[in-house]
Amino acid sequence: MRNTLGDLNDHLFAQMERLGDEDLKGDELKNECERSKAMTSVSRNIIDNASLALKAEEMRFEGILKGHIPMLSNSAKEIPKG
């Protein structure tokens, strides 16, 4: 599987290392700061989405949520009513 939360973690730490480069100055530093802001924004959305999916799976495991959740798989089944 590609693009896992582990991959995201690696990308974020790599970005931190780039920001920590003391040789970065002027426009290069400004560009890295802008890149970091964009990465942070996208990362937050990815993490929020993963948290929601995890919560739905926990609810299904606990029996609170019954049936299939289309968003969490590749099939197009609907959630049974009742």
9-48: pLDDT as tens digits: 999 999 999 999 999 999 999 999 999 999 999 999 999 9
Q: Report the amino acid identity of residue 5.
A: L
Spatial contact of 68 and 75, defined as CB atoms under 8 Å apart: yes
Tokens of 43: 């990362």
pLDDT at 71: 64
pLDDT of the residue at 75: 47
Q: Residue 49: CA atoms inside 13 Å, Cβ hemisphere, count?
A: 10
Residue that wins the pLDDT comparison between 74 and 56 = 56
77 contacts 70 by C-beta, under 8 angstroms: yes
Average pLDDT over residues 44-65: 86
